[in-house]
Amino acid sequence: MAASTSPPVDLSAALVLAPPTAAEWLVVLPVAWCLTFGALLVMMRRSIRLHPTITIVGLAGLVGIDALLLLEIIRNGPMTMVMGRWLPPFGIAFTADLTGALFAFVAALVALAAGIFSIADINDSGRRYGFYPLLLVLMAGVSGAFLTGDIFNLYVWFEVLLISSFGLLVLGSEHEQIDGTVKYGFLNLVATTLFLVATGYLYAVFGTLNMADIARKAEGLRSNAPLMTLAGLYTLAFGMKAAAFPVNFWLPASYHTPRVVVSALFAGLLTKVGIYALIRVMVMLFPVEREELSFVLAIAGSLTMIVGVLGALAQSDFRRLLGFLIISGIGSILAGIAVGGPGGIGGAIFYALHSMLVMTALYFASGIAMRLGASASIVTLAGLYRRHVGFAALSLMLCFAVSGLPPFSGFWPKVMLVKAALDIGAWWLAAVLLLAGFLTTIATGRLFLLAYWRDGAVAIGETPPLPATTLAPLAALTLLTLVLGLYPEPLLATIQDAAAGLADPSAYGESVFPGGWPQ
Amino acid sequence: MEAWFALLVGIFFTVAVYLMLSKFIIRVLLGVAVLGNAVNLLIFTGGRLTREVPPVIAGDAEVLAGPAANALPQALILTAIVISFSFFAFLLVLSWRAYDDLKTDNTDEMRVAEPVNEPAPPLGY
């Protein structure tokens, strides 16, 4: 081919040769950082004593990177990093906007708390089986899912976090865990396969996988392409991931079986990745279809809330009760997506961030309760209040927060959601939101009454020691919910911007296609 | 050709759903494997099936001469095959362990994590 006769082709339109700025690296750094630390820990499998320290350093670094990314996006708007400088729609773009950066930042906080909690919770055999590498690879998958700007890439990150979550779930190989993992594994695999089905159709219809490109092209294709089918498939796939009502049964079957810290991590991260993907696809890519599906979403959300909280009322196991509370929270977020508008979407994002913090902290509390009371059942747990007053106070605060009572972080999203529902005249949805909050208060109130308040048969002197590494992350997350409840203005303002950015993705598109959208 | 492929994908999906509705884990697993292949065929069909024109742009042209098959779905399927294969391997081992530990491959009898007839939570103290 030496004597090529091809005319000179102007490649400048497809390639950008300028090096990326330092700030742009922040978009991919969370993923690369976690993968690097994960790989490092896999190589150091003989020195498992060092694993927790390295993991905590890595996760603290991740919190820092995500904080910098968030600040940068608040200042300059969405940012895009393109692999190999192949421009979208051909290259795979990592695009971070406010919503993605907020989720990634809170996810990193939760993971750091879980990393600290794990010191006392994961024994040597857990470390030998690779808890810490799996945790870091899970975080790589979660960060990738929050920061990617490409639908197929999102699928790949889903699979990365799924395979590491299988590993974490089955860590310990008890009968219960194997049973839970079978159900979790099969159902989640079916959900991601549905996601892939939807993505296959999406590519056939749009000929592109870049989210900004899809958001732009959707308008022109709406009249004659089966976009409603796509939106429906995505709703089903992500609804299953997020444990929404008719497809939620894998969650209570599996979340109470692994190590406490694994439950806490899953409660904080995995369902919220599904919710984030649902918000991203339904609000940003298919706004018209979201509007048309809103009644279905509202019904699904209401049923999820009620079924979740009724399930929580019927449980006597601390952690299974919490599993149903996660589901109930997902219902509130779905209600927000159904209502739409800045209030609904903002409320949904706020509720999701709040739920990440609170559910993780509640699972930490269940672990400490099991340690103090030597039981996981609220039939036999008793007298925790007398065992450890500080822990009981923190748990009570979390019970308030998850019920949506002031002055904790659950209050504001609930107000936003109820107000948004009333504003569009969906009084019944507002009523269900309030009823779910009321029933949650009863469920957590009964939990507190039985496990903490009731006089225990065991004498106070026998209290086992409580390592500071278990109490500190619990206290930190609880104080964070209190601070967010008392002073929500900065977060509220950011979330309003994030919701506005989803509703009008022109800044997002501008960041992916700096020279204007190609024809 | 698309119509035949669509029919084939439909048959794959039918078989996969039928197998996944089974009570026995190994059949569910086979259903998942078939489902993965159904999706791969779906993506493949989504990228147009044209045998005649290769998706290569001639030296003196800027765009393809005629309607050609899209090459990207093959890359997507490659990714999806690797992923679904690794998941299949994991779930196969998991199923074996579950059969070994729980002494059953009937999902109705797998009630370790969610026992039947659990006592209700206390109504008062």
The number of beta carbons lying within 10 Å of the beta carbon of residue B38 is 21
What average pLDDT does range A425-439 have in this prediction?
A: 95
Which residues contact residue A299 at a Cβ distance below 8 angstroms, ignoring those fewer than 6 apart? none
**CATH code, residues B1-51+67-109:** 1.10.287
Q: How far is Cα A347 from Cα A436, in angstroms, rounded to an integer?
A: 16
Cα A307 from Cα A311, distance rounded (Å): 6
The percentage of residues in chain A with a pLDDT greater than 70, rounded to a whole number, is 94
Of A450, A519, A512, A515, which is closest to residue A212 (Cα–Cα)?
A512
Per the CB < 8 Å rule, is B119 touching A196?
no
Work out how many CB contacts closer than 8 A connect A with B: 122
Q: How far apart are CA B42 and CA A422, in angstroms?
A: 43
Choose the mutation target among A173, A193, A210, A452 for the interface with B, i.e. most B CBs under 10 Å: A193
Compute the distance between CA of residue A119 and CA of residue A140 in angstroms, rounded to an integer.
21
Tens digit of each residue's pLDDT (9 = 90 or more) over B56-101: 777 787 777 777 778 888 889 999 999 999 999 999 999 999 999 9
Contact list, B120 vs chain A (CB under 8 Å): 314, 316
Q: Mean pLDDT over residues A425-448, rounded? A: 94
Residue B6, both tokens = 């669509």
Q: Which of A14-28, A36-50, A136-150 shows the lowest per-residue confidence on average (mean pLDDT)? A: A14-28
Residues of chain B positioned with their CB less than 8 A from the CB of A254: 113
Question: Which residue type occupies A416?
Answer: M
d(CA A274, CA A182): 20
Q: What is the mean pLDDT of residues A349-374?
A: 93
Strand partners, A81: A94
Cβ atoms within 10 Å, residue A151: 23
Dihedral class, residue A464 (left if φ above 0, else alpha if ψ from -120 to 50, else beta): beta
CB proximity list for B84: less than 8 A, separation 6 or greater: A193, B33, B36, B40
Query: Is B70 in contact with A175 (Cβ distance < 8 A)?
Result: no
What is the pLDDT at residue A291?
92
Flag whether pLDDT at A355 surpasses 90.
yes
Q: Which residue of B has its CA nearest to A4?
A: B59
Give me the pLDDT at residue A363, please.
95
Identify whether A505 is preceded by a cis peptide bond (ω within 30 of 0).
Answer: no
**Average pLDDT in chain A:** 90
Tell me what the pLDDT averaged over chain B comes to: 88
pLDDT band at residue A219 using 50, 70 and 90 as cut-offs: confident
Closest C-alpha to A133, from A262, A37, A258, A30: A37
Contact (CB<8Å) A186/B113: no
Eight-class DSSP state of A425: T
Q: Strand A79-82 relative to strand A93-96: parallel, antiparallel, unpaired? A: antiparallel
- Give mean pLDDT, residues A306-321: 93
Mean pLDDT of A479-507: 93
pLDDT digits (tens, 9 = 90+) for A167-201: 999 988 889 999 999 999 999 999 999 999 999 99
pLDDT of residue B55: 72
CB contact under 8 A, A193 and B113: no
Q: Rounded to two decimals, what is the model's pTM?
A: 0.93
Task: Answer yes or no: do B122 and A183 touch at CB < 8 A.
Answer: no
pLDDT band at A52 (very low <50, low <70, confident <90, very high): very high
Domain chopping of chain B, boundaries: 1-51+67-109
pLDDT at A341 over 50: yes
Which residue on chain A is closest to B93 by alpha carbon? A182
- Share of residues in chain A with pLDDT > 90 (%): 71
Helix (H, G, I), strand (E, B) or coil at A113: helix
DSSP tag of A95: E
List, in sequence order, every residue forming a beta bridge with A15; answer none if it has no partner: A86
Q: Is the pLDDT of residue A92 over 90?
A: no
At A7, the pLDDT band (50, 70, 90 cuts) reads low
Contacts of A504 (CB under 8 A, 6+ apart): none
Instruction: Return the residue of B nearest to A199 by Cα.
Output: B43
Residue B124 has pLDDT above 60, yes or no: yes
| pLDDT classification of A408: cutoffs 50, 70, 90 | very high
Instruction: Taking residues A249-276, report their average pLDDT.
Output: 93
- The pLDDT of residue A12 is 59
The alpha carbon of residue A497 and the mean position of all alpha carbons in its chain are separated, in whole angstroms, by: 19
Tokens of A402: 């998850």
